[in-house]
């Protein structure tokens, strides 16, 4: 048979050769490192025979598919260890994930696993690695498979099998452990040299909160020791960037149980950072014809009945407040308020687009287990705006809001992925006319294409009133969060009976764009803190420069410089304590202040400053004019 390699070369192999044979024909090293083989786009075990001509690709650790095979095999390895240590354990599913794997297990009555038990399981896994058992694939009839798991009493596998009646069923066995599994697996457990179990969590069977909660164990594994060590180091580094930790160290924000979980308090330093970002966006919006408005924190419940948010989202709102027989809601979103502003006077097509912007604080009842630092909170401020425009203007307006969103992310150098969030087939989830939806989705995708955005489509991710473009970023430990969003809405204009008079003197419905480049100030700040690891650029830093006199003789010069920089609008901290200069420098560095201005006898006499850049070190002496120029160049206008 002919085997076609990725580079296009064709080689003749005997019928029923295996992936291993093919790898060996190239080199022994490759055969040793190979984890699997892609045969005509289907992943095969290396030991599986190939029975006809095929295009192949050998997978190693350097391929993502190779890593998936490696981690999925490690999930089986862990399962074998669990079965040895906890006889009677039942298994749900155990897939590989982006970084590692997990297995959901149902432990025998009365047995619980916590992180403290992980080392023992890990130890057992290492023993099984040494045993170097082959992963053996076996095709089996559905009936035999059912019989096997009935005998074992594993109702989860039986349920999975119910869904596989029409498919080919395969079992994999390594050592004493047999699992229902599609594959693919590494040749033997000996390859899975450096496993590491990471955490334990509860996970509902099949993701359904009405069903039993299983124990999920997360882990990862590497072929080489230094890779595992590097992984552990990276995790430790990431923990140091955690915004909750840096937020405390730099006194940016706090959360007080006395005020309430998920209701963050902005401390003076954090307020500076947040206001600086708000002013940055405010300026950009003024340049683009936005008008800023302010609306109250609560609104009549009737407003949210009209919008359709209540009772649809009643579960995730704070309960209504009753006053004078009227019910009010802490506002879960700003849009209905803005719609009232639009509707407050007759609008002409000549007035459109109307762009109403507000840093509007909203309150949502998030489940207690979901709260997380600044990332997931119950009270947060959206950099919200609603653009009311004609159908003809829609395209340009979408373009402009994408552009302002990109401006935000590029200013901070953040990596974002872009998702077009469209509707799925479940019509109940959405409001409004299907044809309008299709038009809006097409409009969004066309603009995205036109602007050359790299995106993926998320079916079923749309809001109930329309499709969205969502901008998604990762935090320090790799979790994904949605930040900016752009949403097209044909439903609310209808519900609120919004109108404008057209050139034809007839009434028309505007279309609304909801947009928030930062998304939520709280969440954006959480990501920004981790992005910079607290080392904010000069224009954002809560304290921009410290002035550090070497001895008391320079205190007067220090005060003079303080007044000078403060009058120029810079945020200055002057350290007149009776401490050694190295101590003052150390503390300035720890507070991540971008510049330390050191002044001693020499600087005072020559009316200069010695400049130390945070994270860089001493960059030499400068005249007052020079340092002013440096600072001016670091500000964003």
Partner RNA sequence: GCCAAUUUAGCUCAGUGGUAGAGCAGCUCACUCGUAAUGAGCAGGUCGCCGGUUCAAGUCCGGCAAUUGGCUCCA
Q: How far apart are CA 321 and CA 311, in angstroms?
A: 15
SS (H, E, C) 244-268: HHHHHHCCCEECCCCCCCCCCEECH
- Specify the residue, 221 or 598, whose C-beta has the smaller distance to RNA: 598
Is 364 an annotated catalytic residue? yes
**Is residue 8 involved in binding RNA (CB under 7 A)?**
no
Q: Which of 92, 195, 262, 534 is the binder for RNA (CB under 7 A)?
A: 262
Is 384 an annotated catalytic residue? yes
Q: Which of 158, 200, 267, 634 is the binder for RNA (CB under 7 A)?
A: 200
**Is residue 551 involved in binding RNA (CB under 7 A)?**
yes
- Specify the residue, 115 or 632, whose C-beta has the smaller distance to RNA: 115
- Specify the residue, 129 or 463, whose C-beta has the smaller distance to RNA: 463
By CB under 7 A, the count of residues binding RNA is 72
Choices 30-38, 52-60, 74-82, 256-264 (CB under 7 A): range interacting with RNA:
256-264
**Is residue 417 involved in binding RNA (CB under 7 A)?**
no
Q: Which residues 98-127 are close enough to bind RNA by CB under 7 A?
A: 112, 114-116
Q: φ and ψ at 106, to 5 degrees?
A: -110, 110
Q: Which of 216, 337, 386, 515 is the binder for RNA (CB under 7 A)?
A: 216
- Specify the residue, 108 or 202, whose C-beta has the smaller distance to RNA: 202
Longest CA–CA separation in the chain, Å: 94
Q: Which residues 418-477 are close enough to bind RNA by CB under 7 A?
A: 463-464, 477
Minimum distance of RNA from residue 490's CB (angstroms): 14
- Specify the residue, 208 or 425, whose C-beta has the smaller distance to RNA: 208
- Specify the residue, 134 or 371, whose C-beta has the smaller distance to RNA: 371
Q: Which residues 567-586 are close enough to bind RNA by CB under 7 A?
A: 578-583, 585-586
Minimum distance of RNA from residue 449's CB (angstroms): 24
Q: Which residues 286-305 are close enough to bind RNA by CB under 7 A?
A: none
**Is residue 607 involved in binding RNA (CB under 7 A)?**
no
Locate 431 and state its tokens.
């409001």
Q: Which of 124, 243, 355, 386 is catalytic?
A: 386
Locate 472 and state its tokens.
């998604």
State the CB neighbour count (10 A cutoff) for residue 48.
19
**Cα 132 to chain center, whole Å?**
38
Choices 169-177, 432-440, 557-565, 590-598 (CB under 7 A): range interacting with RNA:
590-598
Is 126 an annotated catalytic residue? no
Q: How far apart are CA 613 and CA 497, in angstroms?
A: 57
Q: Which residues 316-335 are close enough to bind RNA by CB under 7 A?
A: 316-317, 332-333
Site string for RNA, 356-385 (x = CB under 7 A): --------xxxxxxxxxx------------
In the numeric block, the tokens 């937020």 are attached to 247
Q: Which of 141, 233, 618, 629 is the binder for RNA (CB under 7 A)?
A: 618
Is 240 an annotated catalytic residue? no
Q: Which of 5, 86, 171, 313 is the binder for RNA (CB under 7 A)?
A: 313
Do residues 67 and 192 make contact, with C-beta atoms less than 8 angstroms apart? no
Q: Which of 230, 177, 170 is nearest to 48 (CA)?
A: 170
Is 386 an annotated catalytic residue? yes
Q: Please, is 84 exposed, middle or buried when counting C-beta atoms within 10 Å of its C-beta (0-12, 13-18, 19+)?
A: middle
Q: Which of 106, 124, 309, 335 is catalytic?
A: 335
- List alpha helices for 163-288, DSSP H: 225-241, 243-249, 268-287
In the numeric block, the tokens 């969060």 are attached to 481
Choices 44-52, 80-88, 193-201, 277-285 (CB under 7 A): range interacting with RNA:
193-201
* Cα-based distances in Å from 166 to 88, 138, 342: 29, 17, 57
**Is residue 589 involved in binding RNA (CB under 7 A)?**
yes
Q: How far apart are CA 364 and CA 315, in angstroms?
A: 9
Do residues 71 and 186 make contact, with C-beta atoms less than 8 angstroms apart? no
Q: Which of 89, 129, 106 is nearest to 221 (CA)?
A: 129
> SS3 of 620, please?
strand
Q: Which of 45, 154, 179, 384 is catalytic?
A: 384
Q: How far apart are CA 72 and CA 183, in angstroms?
A: 8
Q: What angle do CA 415, 417, 423 make, to 5 degrees?
A: 160
| Residues constituting the chain | 637
Q: Which of 317, 382, 487, 544 is catalytic?
A: 382
**Is residue 269 involved in binding RNA (CB under 7 A)?**
no
Choices 22-30, 276-284, 497-505, 593-601 (CB under 7 A): range interacting with RNA:
593-601
- Specify the residue, 6 or 261, whose C-beta has the smaller distance to RNA: 261
Q: Which of 40, 123, 141, 199 is the binder for RNA (CB under 7 A)?
A: 199
Q: How far apart are CA 53 and CA 11, in angstroms?
A: 10
Q: How far apart are CA 292 and CA 442, in angstroms?
A: 30
**Is residue 610 involved in binding RNA (CB under 7 A)?**
yes
- Specify the residue, 138 or 602, whose C-beta has the smaller distance to RNA: 602
Q: φ and ψ at 613, to 5 degrees?
A: -95, 135
Dihedral-angle region of residue 94 (phi above 0 means left; psi in -120 to 50 means alpha; beta otherwise) = beta
The catalytic residue positions are 335, 364, 382, 384, 386, 468, 514
């Amino acid at each position: 048979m002919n085997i076609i390699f990725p580079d296009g070369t064709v080689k003749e192999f005997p019928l029923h050769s295996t992936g291993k044979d093919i790898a060996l024909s190239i080199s022994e090293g490759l055969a040793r490192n190979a984890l699997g083989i892609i045969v005509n786009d289907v992943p095969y075990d290396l030991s599986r025979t190939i029975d006809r001509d095929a295009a192949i690709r050998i997978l190693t650790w350097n391929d993502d598919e190779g890593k998936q095979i490696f981690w999925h095999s490690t999930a089986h390895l862990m399962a074998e260890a669990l079965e040895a240590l906890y006889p009677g354990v039942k298994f749900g599913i155990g897939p590989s994930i982006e970084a590692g794997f997990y297995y959901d297990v149902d432990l025998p009555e009365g047995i619980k696993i916590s992180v403290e038990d992980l080392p023992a399981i890990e130890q057992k896994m290492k023993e099984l690695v040494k045993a170097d058992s082959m992963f053996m694939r076996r095709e089996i009839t559905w009936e035999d498979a059912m019989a096997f798991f009935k005998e074992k009493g594993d109702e989860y596998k039986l349920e999975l099998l119910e869904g596989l009646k029409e498919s080919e069923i395969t079992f994999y066995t390594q050592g004493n452990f047999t699992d229902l599994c599609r594959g693919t697996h590494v040749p033997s457990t000996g390859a899975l040299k450096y496993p590491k179990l990471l955490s334990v969590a509860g996970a509902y069977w099949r993701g359904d909160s009405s069903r039993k909660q299983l124990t999920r164990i997360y882990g990862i594994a590497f072929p080489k020791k230094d890779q595992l060590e590097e992984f552990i180091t990276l995790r430790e580094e990431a923990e140091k960037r955690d915004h909750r930790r840096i937020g405390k160290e730099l006194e940016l924000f706090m959360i007080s149980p006395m005020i309430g979980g998920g209701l963050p308090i902005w401390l003076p330093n954090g307020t500076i950072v947040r206001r600086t970002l708000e002013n940055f966006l405010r300026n950009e919006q003024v340049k683009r014809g936005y008008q800023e408005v302010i609306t109250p924190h609560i609104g009549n419940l009737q407003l949210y009945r009209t919008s359709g948010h209540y009772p649809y989202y009643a579960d995730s709102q704070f309960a209504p407040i009753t006053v004078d027989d009227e019910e009010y809601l802490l506002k879960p979103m700003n849009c209905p308020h803005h719609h009232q502003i639009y509707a407050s006077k007759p609008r002409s097509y000549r007035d459109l687009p109307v762009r109403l912007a507000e840093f509007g604080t909203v309150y949502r009842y998030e489940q207690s287990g979901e709260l997380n630092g600044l990332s997931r909170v119950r009270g947060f401020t959206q950099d919200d705006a609603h653009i009311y425009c004609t159908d003809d203007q829609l395209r340009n307006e979408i373009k402009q809001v994408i552009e302002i969103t990109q401006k935000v992310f590029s200013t901070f150098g953040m990596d974002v992925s872009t998702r077009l969030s469209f509707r799925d087939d479940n019509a109940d989830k959405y409001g409004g006319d299907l044809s309008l939806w299709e038009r809006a989705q097409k409009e969004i995708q066309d603009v995205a294409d036109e602007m050359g955005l790299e995106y993926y489509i998320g079916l079923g991710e749309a809001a109930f009133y329309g499709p969205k473009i969502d901008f998604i970023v990762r935090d320090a430990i790799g979790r994904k969060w949605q930040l900016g969003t752009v949403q097209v809405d044909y439903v609310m204009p209808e519900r609120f009976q919004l109108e404008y008079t057209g050139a034809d003197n007839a009434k028309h419905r505007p279309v609304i764009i909801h947009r928030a480049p930062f998304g939520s100030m709280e969440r954006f700040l959480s990501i920004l803190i981790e992005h910079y690891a607290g080392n904010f650029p000069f224009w954002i830093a809560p304290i921009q420069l410290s002035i550090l006199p070497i001895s008391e003789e320079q205190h007067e010069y220090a005060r003079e410089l303080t007044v000078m920089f403060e009058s120029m609008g810079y945020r200055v901290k002057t350290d007149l304590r009776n401490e050694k200069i190295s101590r003052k420098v150390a503390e300035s560095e720890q507070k991540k202040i971008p510049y330390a201005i050191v002044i001693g006898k020499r600087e005072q006499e020559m009316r200069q400053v010695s400049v130390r850049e945070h994270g860089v070190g001493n960059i030499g002496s400068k005249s007052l004019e020079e340092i002013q120029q440096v600072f001016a160049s670091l500000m964003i206008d």
